[in-house]
Amino acid sequence: MNLRINQLQALKQFTTVVADTGDFKQLDAFKPQDATTNPSLILKAVQKADYAPLLKDTVAQFRGRAMDEIVDRLLVRFGCEILSIIPGRVSTEVDARLSFDTKATVARGERIIALYQAQGIHTDRVLIKVASTWEGIQAAQQLERKGIHTNLTLLFAFCQAVACGQAKVQLISPFVGRIYDWYKKSAGAAWVEADMAGANDPGVKSVTQIYNYYKKFGIATEVMGASFRNVGQITALAGCDLLTISPDLLAQLAATETPLTQALDAAKAQAMDMEPVAYDEASFRLALNDDAMGTEKLAEGIRAFAADAVKLEHLIQAA
């Protein structure tokens, strides 16, 4: 009898596996606990034949309403479909163009939750995704105080993670692959892939530092590694609270039986020697400014999500 398990099964022993997709028809094959979406993933999904009717139906039902309301209703429609398949939570993102507007982000988060509640979805099954700007983190703190849980995304710098912990947000999504991309591009011809793989990967090192810091100081915020480029980045973070993974990489894990061991360990982190850090607005902005990678990738990510939000609006107008 073959008792060997694949890497996806092994990973689930240490980490909550989350599917990173708007393509909910792929979810059942991988049995994730949670799922995440973002404007780019929803844009990609609605352009597929399988999902075009969902776009047209939502637009027809709410034609004449404000564009931002139609967008939110479409996002919630996808979220509800996802929640009918998975047992856990779905993350739905606030418009990236509101990343520097605390008040507007709070209002948008509250509306998204109200739309889910109108469909009979409990608040605890939804995470409102917000960019990890100073304004976004303050908005998330306000939402959490109202009982609305948040997922702080576009997180690249350690100071962003510390500020999110201070704000007592539910979950953060540090972007492993995009950190890796920046350092690889920066190194140019000097980059040696084999030397920068696994635990040496700069994206993996970033998430490991955040995870260890949170566990050392008893910060309850969940750490969910995101934006992976390869399976090695995922296996090097086995033991992280959660990992959100694309269907392609989930399939690769499911097809591999190479043994997988736990890499991150809360008990070991608690024994580490490190000092606590705290930020106010001025020191946060200075720390982020001092981190060229974090500054550049945050700005780039907001621009990209904002551009995809505009493209989605154009599809809605044409539907």
**What integer pLDDT is reported at residue 1 of this predicted model?**
47
Catalytic residues: 129
CA atoms within a 13 Å half-sphere pointing along the CA-CB vector of 219 = 28
DSSP labels for 59-80? Answer: HHHHTTS-HHHHHHHHHHHHHH
pTM comes to 0.96
Residues in the chain, pLDDT under 70: 1-2
Domain residues of the chain, as ranges?
Answer: 7-248+258-311
Q: What gap in Å lies between CA 236 and CA 159, rounded to an integer?
A: 22
User: CB burial class (10 A; 0-12, 13-18, 19+) of residue 45?
Assistant: buried
Domain 7-248+258-311 is of which CATH architecture? Alpha-Beta Barrel (3.20)
pLDDT tens-digit readout, 279-297:
999 999 999 999 999 999 9
Check residue 8 and report its DSSP letter. Answer: H
pLDDT tens-digit readout, 112-153:
999 999 999 999 999 999 999 999 999 999 999 999 999 999
**Are the CB atoms for 109 and 137 separated by under 8 Å?**
no
